[in-house]
Copies of this chain bind each other. A is one copy, B any other.
Amino acid sequence: MIQIISGGVCAAQGFSAAGVHCGIRRNKSKKDLALIYSDVPAQAAAVYTANRVQGVPIAVTRRHLADGIARAVICNSGNANTCNADGEIVAEQMCALTAKELGLDADDVAVASTGVIGQPLDLTPIAAGLPTLVAALSEDGGADAADAIMTTDTRRKEIAVEFTLGGKICHLGGMAKGSGMIHPNMATMLVFITTDVHIPSHVLQIALHDDCKTSFNMVSVDGDTSTNDTVLVLANGEAGNAPVAFDSADYAIFREALQTVTVYLCREIARDGEGATRLLTCQVAGAADVLTARKAAKAVICSSLVKAAGFGADANWGRVLCALGYGVPELEPDNVDVSFRSAAGEITVCIAGRGIAFDEDVAKEILVQPEVTIAVSLGGGKHTAEAWGCDLTYDYVKINGNYRT
């Protein structure tokens, strides 16, 4: 039984966090440096972007997590520290300075950066801000940390759950940033998850890898896979449970807790997509296999035309068929049904690949809601998938027409 509780990365025992404004950004009211800290060494696992152009913080974090152990994560917003000549030195220095302030080895610190690509990241404000950041570490600091990693995000994204393993109360919580350049591929935006569960890093890595297939890999805001996507989990074992073994009953519970947190964060990222006015979910059923189901759901959620119709609350289901048609080479168009669903009701608009008469006013009422589901049945099997995205709006263009200035 997975119960949602308040909090984020500090919900698990033995974790503290902080977020401050150090001066990477000019706007002093926007926090730009975050820290997560575990009282004891934690088992660590991470997945990263599949983009061939990778932020150097990923290279550094990969090295530092090679032994499966970490105790802290330092993360700045406002600059991605990617495609810079001195980027790797800067990322290593961020870890070294953080480690020094916390009395750790630099190897036990993970680093992440998010923001504009290709502009040098100045260490000066980070070095100057670190003492304040470390002094601010607190079990109540999760929200500040979640604020500090935001870029074009308009809302803080955090969640935590409670569950039991072998009679021990366990916690798992996370925070995310992500709003544009969101189309994860084997990884995602920046997501940091902490848990007090005792789980070896190699088991944790498998759990995270499998989780991403039905969570972060099923989100798209704009089809652009970022260079800095990272999902990182720290598990410090403070719950005192017996170590979670792969494929055990405890593993299944842990996976469910992890999926609860990651799917929540996915939906929050999609809902807060740059310029978005509504969360679009595509639920696919009737697929011959799970990969086909996922391909279909992603194709619909990624279509610029479906997204623009979402903005206009237009029941333009032909665009859903069109996206399925180019996204799913195995599609049998004559078997496809399409409905729209929201808090205002449900309406079927296409049966067996053909339009049916429907009430446009009813459809409009369903489509103007803040959360809309596009339900597709492929009519060729029993597999399902779900993907999340958002509408394409004037504000997406506004935000991205001149992001650097």
Chain A positions within 8 Å of B, measured between CB atoms, are 50-54, 80, 82-85, 116-120, 180-181, 183, 185, 222-227, 302-305, 308-309, 311-312, 314, 316-319, 321-326, 328-333, 350, 353-355, 392-394, 396-405
Contacts and interface: CB of A to CB of B under 8 A. Distances in A.
Nearest to A115: B318
22 contacts: A51-B325, A51-B326, A52-B330, A52-B333, A53-B331, A53-B333, A83-B355, A223-B223, A223-B302, A224-B303, A224-B305, A224-B323, A227-B322, A308-B399, A309-B400, A309-B401, A309-B402, A312-B400, A314-B402, A314-B403, A314-B404, A316-B403
Contacts of A227: 318, 321-322, 325
Given A83-B353, A118-B321, A224-B326, 20 more contacts: A52-B332, A53-B321, A53-B325, A53-B331, A82-B318, A83-B318, A116-B318, A117-B319, A117-B322, A119-B355, A180-B305, A185-B326, A223-B223, A223-B304, A224-B305, A225-B325, A308-B396, A308-B401, A312-B403, A314-B401
B394 A308 contact: no
Contacts of A314: 401-405
Nearest to A305: B224
- 6 closest residue pairs by CB, A with B: A117-B318, A53-B325, A312-B401, A308-B400, A225-B326, A118-B355
A400 B310 CA distance: 9
Contact of A317 (B80, B118, B185, B333): B118
A313 to B, nearest CB: 8
Contact of A224 (B185, B224, B322): B322
A225 to B, nearest CB: 4
A354 B88 CA distance: 12
A402 B312 contact: yes
A181 B308 CA distance: 12
Contact of A52 (B223, B312, B328): B328
Contacts of A401: 308-309, 311-312, 314
Contacts of A50: 326
Contacts of A308: 396-397, 399-401
Contact of A324 (B53, B312, B325): B53
Contacts of A80: 318
Contacts of A325: 51-54, 225, 227
Contact of A181 (B305, B394, B397): B305
A304 B226 CA distance: 12
A353 to B, nearest CB: 6
A348 B279 CA distance: 39
